[in-house]
Structures are given as C-alpha cells and as structure tokens.
Structure 1
Amino acid sequence: MKNSKKINRRNALFQLYGAALGFGVGTSLVAQADPLPVNKRSSSTLVAYLSRSGNTRVIAETLARQMSADLFEIRTVEPYPDDYQAHVLRARQQQETGELPALSGDFPGLDGYHSVVLAFPIWGRDMPAPVRSFLADWDMGNKTLFPCITHGGYGPGHSLETLGQLVPDAQIKPAFIKQCDSERDTISLLADWTATVMPS
C-alpha cells in the first residue's frame, strides 16, 4: 500500500463494508500494513478466509481487526496454479468430482470459538473446494456462522445452499456479499483489445 490513492480507495471501501455489516458510521476501518498473527487464540470469534487474488483477504483482515477476532487463512497442501485459466480448470475438476483437497497450516481447532466469520470467493458459481474441506474438518454445529462472500459478477451462486447443507446445525446469519474485480472479465477485455490493436 505504498500508493496513497490505493489507501484512500481501500479506506472508503472499508467504510462501506462496515456500514453493511452493522458497524457504526463513525467506526474506523483503516487498513494496516501488518496482518494479524495467524493461529493466535485470543478471541471467541474466528475469521477464516480463502483468497486467490487478495480481495477476500483485505475484507477478512479488516473484519478481524474490527471485531478483535483471530484470523486464519485456509490454504491447501498442494498450491493452486498461478495461471488463472489453469486455476479455473482445476477448481472446476474439484467441483465435478467432489474432491476435498487437504489443507495446510497449524489450525488449533474451533474449541472456544462461539462465532466464525467464513470469508471466501465464488469459484464456478459455488463454494470453493478448500472451504468445503475446512467445513468437513471442523464441527460447526454449535457455532454462529457469518458468511462473507466475494464474487466476480455472478453473485453468490449456489454457495449459500451448499453452506446450509454442509453445516445444517450451525446458526447461519445473513451473508455479506460483495462483487470484486473479475479476472475473467479482464481477460476477456484484454482479448478484445489485442484483437483490435494487434490484428493477425
């Protein structure tokens, strides 16, 4: 965040996020340079998140600071491809096969947490496989769950239905849903642009 324009834009977005989540108008949601320590058990609330491009990470870190919550990033043992199209292909294959990828990280478990904010992007119009793995690994039955969903233009897809099926005993609160920059749209626009300015 070396660019002051980016900082100002993010701060403005954080104010909107705070209003949507019910924080007071005067609440300060300022991005900080250093993330909260991962796996620090110091709160009854956990923010668990998955992020590919960083949009969901910004939201998760902001919520963790605002709520004085612990923060945990959901990661897979086998990383996803950096290339967007390859990433989409692998995510689609996991959805079609129902694969639950193994997760990495030293997660201490959910004992002691009463509330869980689950932040994730939409992959293929549904919940990503790593988030399904996280929910399969840990019992959410007696937790209050706050879904926080980012998407690239197609909305939450089937993710809320999937969430209800995976954690039927959890108390699921209304979701915060935010459209973020779409890599797919950017790639499409780039293809159109190169076809125009660089004709074959």
Structure 2
Amino acid sequence: MKRLILTVSLALALTMTASANGNEVSRTKTLVAYFSFPIDSGKEALDATSGASVTIKNGRHFGNAQFIAMTIADTLGESADLFEIDTGDHYPRDYKKIFNATQSEQRKNVKPKLLKRVQNIAQYDKIVIVCPVWWYKMPLAVQSFLDEYDLSDKTIYLSVTHGGSRSAGIEREIAAAEPKATVSKNMLILSRSDTAKSEQKIKDWAKGL
C-alpha cells in the first residue's frame, strides 16, 4: 500500500514538474478578433455593398460584428480573448461620409493603420475573424490585421455580416493573406438585419469551434 501511495505521489510530482517546465501540452486558446463600425447617428446600416450595421440590445448600440464577437467570446469563456481591430478615428461616423470613404479606400487599396496589437499571437491555436462585408470584399482594416501577424499552422474561422452578398469570398482573401494557415469552411454568415435575433445561433456556432 505504501508503495502504491509513493508511486502515485511520484507521478503527480512529475506531472507538476512537466507543467512547470512547459512540457505539458497547453490548453487550446482562441483569439476572437473583430472589426466593427457602428454609425453614431443610429440610422439603418449601410447597404449591401458596404455592409456595416448596428445592433440594438437592451437599449445599447453595438456594431453587428462587435455583437457577434462578444457573444462568441462570452460563449467560449476563459479559453478565448476578445480583440478589437481598432482604426481609431480613421473613418467618419456619418452614414453618407463613411459610405464614400470606404468606396474610395477599397478602390485605392489604402490600408488603415491599427491602434492596437496582439501581445502574444503565438499563444493562440484558433483565430476567429468577425467583420462586415464592405464593397463585396474584406474590410481593409482586416487586411491590415492579417499583414501584421504570421498565422501559420493556426486555424482561422470566419464570421461575416452582409446585406445580400453572403461571405463575398472573404475566406479566399484570408487564405491568400495567410497561406500557411487553415481557413475553416465552417463559417457563420449572417444578414445584417438578422444579427440582433441570432444570439442563440451565434452561441451554437461558437460551441462547435
């Protein structure tokens, strides 16, 4: 009996030592990165060609992508970190002005600078990218995000909001930007008008990541 207790104690000690030395396989972590741009005026979202919109929940205004990302991160709990792809004041918050600005930006391929950085991208095995479809493409702010990090060997999941274009092939843009990553075919695609009433659908999708 004493020998059995000693053996178990030794095994526990070795496990703790391996963990301390970083030899134990770490728990999978997920980064939920989102680009979202709510319109201050509270008007209806931009149309299908540009795709940003506003979700109202409990009297609070959220960008659609922001609402989706927050729901995903909350569902995943401690295994997930939420990160905003933040362009600061790069875009105007007026409906008509942002419509024109994003069109011009896409045409000229002007990538905005980001205000925040992920401190340790290596700790994440999964990256969830949440964004609207802008002019049938990925927002250039998301392209700026992808340019900053090497996501090789990571699995990337995509969730987009749209006004009729579905994913608009954004998954292919991500695959081209991160050729050594795996871009999952398991995408969450939501119409901009359905986001507020899709909370359970978002949670169910997040649980399957």
1:59-98 matches, within 5 Å, as: 59-68=68-77, 69-98=80-109
Cα RMSD (Å) = 1.8
Structure with the bigger RCO (C-alpha within 8 Å, sep 6+) is 2
Work out the CA distance in 1 between the residues paired with 2:108 and 2:29.
35
SS in 2 for 1:100: coil
Q: Which residue of 1 aligns with 2:176?
A: 165
Distance 2:88 2:32 in 1: 20
Deviation at 1:113, TM superposition (A): 0.6
TM score, norm. by length of structure 2? 0.63
The equivalent residue for 1:176 is 188
Instruction: Structure 2: give runs of 5+ residues left out of the alignment.
Output: 1-26, 39-62, 195-209
Residue 77 of structure 1, CA deviation = 4.1
| CA deviation after TM superposition for structure 1 residue 162, in Å | 1.3
Q: Does 1:52 align with 2:40?
A: no
Whole-angstrom CA distance in 2 between matches of 1:101 and 1:113: 24
Alignment of 1:114-133 (within 5 A): 114-133=125-144
> Following the alignment from structure 2 to structure 1, what is the Cα–Cα distance between the partners of residues 34 and 83?
6
Q: 2:35, 2:66 within 8 Å by CA — same for their partners in 1?
A: yes
1:3-42 superposed matches below 5 A: none
- Cα drift, residue 157 of structure 1: 1.5
Question: How far apart in 2 are the matches of 1:107 and 1:169?
Answer: 19
What is the CA distance between 1:43 and its match in structure 2? 6.8
Aligned-partner Cα distance in 1 for 2:184–2:104: 30
Q: Distance in 2 between matches of 1:65 and 1:43?
A: 16
1:110 aligns with 2:121: yes
Q: CA deviation at 1:150?
A: 0.8
On the 8 A contact 1:43/1:70 being kept in 2, the answer is no
Gaps of 5+ in 1: 1-41, 183-200
Q: Deviations over 1:136-177 (max 9, x none)?
A: 011111211001111122222132221121111111112211
Aligned-partner residue type, residue 79 of structure 1:
H
In 2, Cα distance between equivalents of 1:76 and 1:147: 20
Take 1:154 and 1:147, find their aligned partners in 2: how far apart are those partners? 15
1: CA distance between counterparts of 2:84 and 2:162? Answer: 18
Instruction: Show the counterpart of 1:191.
Output: none
Contact 2:90/2:112 (<8 A) preserved = no
Higher-Rg structure is 2
2:133–2:160 CA contact under 8 A, matched in 1: yes
Normalising by structure 1, report the TM-score.
Answer: 0.66
- Whichever residue aligns with residue 189 of structure 2, its letter is I
Question: Is contact 2:154-2:182 (8 Å) kept?
Answer: yes
Aligned match of 1:37: none
Moved >3 Å (runs of 4+): none
Determine what percentage of the aligned residue pairs are the same residue.
Answer: 33
